[in-house]
C-alpha cells in the first residue's frame, strides 16, 4: 500500500520550523492567503452532539454561519440550505459517531463530503468556539489543505455492519456456552463429560428439558442424537443426583446468567 501524500498543511504542522509554520498560519488567517483555490464551493461543519455549526463563504449569504439540530429533519434542512447557496463540497471532522448521520444525509443529497481526522486540522491558538471551528475547516478545505479519510461505499458499509454483528454474536455465543458449562459443573450436572458440545442438538435438548422440570435421567438420555458417541446409559448417569434439580432455580433467579 502506497503512503498517502501529505498536504502542505500537514507537512508544515509536522516538520516545518517555527518561522515557516508561523508565516504559513499567518497567511491562512488573512482573507486572501495567496493559495490556489481547490474547492471554491466548500462548506465547513463543526460536528456536535445536540447541534452542528455550518459555515459557508461570507460572500454567499448575509448569515454565513448557521446552527442546525442533530435530528433528521434538521439535517435535511441543512442540506437544502447548502444547496440554495451553491455548495458542492463539505468538510467535517470524524467526531465520535455523531458525524455518521450528517455524512450519510449529505452524501445522499449529492454533496462531496470530506471526512478529516481532527489531528490533521488542528486549530490555531485562540480558535475555540464552534463558529470559529467550522469557519476554519471551510477555509482549509477551500485551499485543499485537508486530506479525506477513506470511507467505503454504502454497499460495502452494509456488508461490513452485518459481518461485525455476526462476529460479535459468534464470540458472545462461545462465551455463553462456557458460562453454561461452568454452571453445570458447579451444580455437579456432568453433562459436558458425556457430550463434548453442550451447544449442540443433544446438549441443548437436555438442558432445556432440565430447565423445564424433567428429572428422569432415562428420559433425558432418550434425547440423545444418533451421532453422539456416548451411549444412553453414559448420558443417563451424568445429569442424575439432587443437584440437577437446581438448574432451573439458578437460571431463573440469575436472569439467564449462569
Q: Please, what are the domains in the chain?
A: 8-142 (3.30.420.40), 154-253 (no CATH)
Which residue would you say has higher pLDDT here, 105 or 21?
105
pLDDT of 57 = 92
**What is the reported pLDDT for 76?**
95
Which residue did the predictor score with more confidence, 175 or 10?
175
- pLDDT tens digit sequence for 65-115: 999 999 999 999 999 999 999 999 999 998 888 999 999 999 999 999 999
| Nearest alpha carbon to residue 148 among 104, 117, 108, 109 | 117
Mean of the per-residue pLDDT values of the chain? 77
Could you read off the pLDDT of 25-79 as tens digits, one per residue?
666 666 666 678 899 999 999 999 899 999 999 889 889 999 999 999 999 999 9
CA dist 241 to 62, 188, 191, 237, 246, Å? Answer: 83, 8, 12, 9, 10
The answer on pLDDT for 250 being more than 70 is no
Query: Does residue 220 carry a pLDDT above 90?
Result: no
Q: Stretch 232-240: mean pLDDT, rounded? A: 61
pLDDT at residue 258 greater than cutoff 60: no
Using a pLDDT cut of 90, give the percent of the chain over it: 28
Model pLDDT for residues 141-160, shown as the tens digit of each residue? 988 888 888 888 888 988 99
- Please name the residues in contact with 141: beta carbons below 8 A apart, sequence gap of 6 or more: 39, 42, 44, 89, 91, 114, 116
Residue 244, pLDDT score: 41
Give the model's pLDDT for residue 2: 43
Closest to 82 measured CA to CA, from 91, 93, 71: 91
**Three-state DSSP string of 128-159:** CCHHHHHHHHHHHHHCCCCCCCCCCCHHHHHH
Distance CA 112, CA 108 (A): 10
Backbone angles phi, psi at 43, to 5 degrees: -135, 150
Amino acid at each position: 500500500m502506497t503512503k498517502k501524500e501529505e498536504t502542505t498543511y500537514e507537512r508544515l504542522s509536522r516538520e516545518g520550523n517555527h518561522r515557516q509554520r508561523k508565516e504559513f498560519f499567518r497567511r491562512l488567517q488573512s482573507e486572501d492567503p495567496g493559495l490556489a483555490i481547490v474547492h471554491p464551493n466548500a462548506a465547513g461543519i463543526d460536528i456536535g452532539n445536540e447541534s452542528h455549526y455550518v459555515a459557508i463563504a461570507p460572500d454567499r449569504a448575509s448569515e454565513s454561519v448557521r446552527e442546525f439540530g442533530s435530528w433528521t429533519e434538521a439535517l435535511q434542512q441543512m442540506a437544502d440550505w447548502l444547496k440554495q447557496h451553491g455548495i458542492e463540497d463539505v468538510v467535517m471532522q470524524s467526531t465520535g459517531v455523531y458525524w455518521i448521520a450528517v455524512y450519510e444525509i449529505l452524501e445522499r443529497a449529492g454533496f462531496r463530503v470530506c471526512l478529516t481526522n481532527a489531528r490533521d486540522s488542528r486549530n490555531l491558538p485562540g480558535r475555540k468556539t464552534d463558529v470559529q471551528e467550522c469557519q476554519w475547516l471551510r477555509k482549509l478545505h477551500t485551499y485543499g489543505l485537508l486530506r479525506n479519510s477513506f470511507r467505503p461505499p454504502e454497499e460495502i458499509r452494509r456488508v461490513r455492519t452485518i459481518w461485525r454483528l455476526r462476529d460479535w454474536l459468534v464470540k458472545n455465543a462461545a462465551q455463553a456456552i462456557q458460562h453454561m458449562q461452568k454452571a453445570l459443573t458447579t451444580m455437579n450436572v456432568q453433562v459436558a463429560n458425556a457430550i463434548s458440545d453442550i451447544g449442540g442438538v443433544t446438549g441443548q435438548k437436555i438442558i432445556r428439558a432440565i430447565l423445564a422440570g424433567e428429572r428422569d435421567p432415562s428420559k433425558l438420555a432418550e434425547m440423545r442424537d444418533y451421532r453422539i458417541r456416548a451411549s444412553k446409559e453414559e448420558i443417563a448417569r451424568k445429569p442424575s443426583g439432587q443437584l440437577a434439580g437446581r438448574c432451573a432455580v439458578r437460571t431463573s433467579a440469575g436472569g439467564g446468567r449462569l
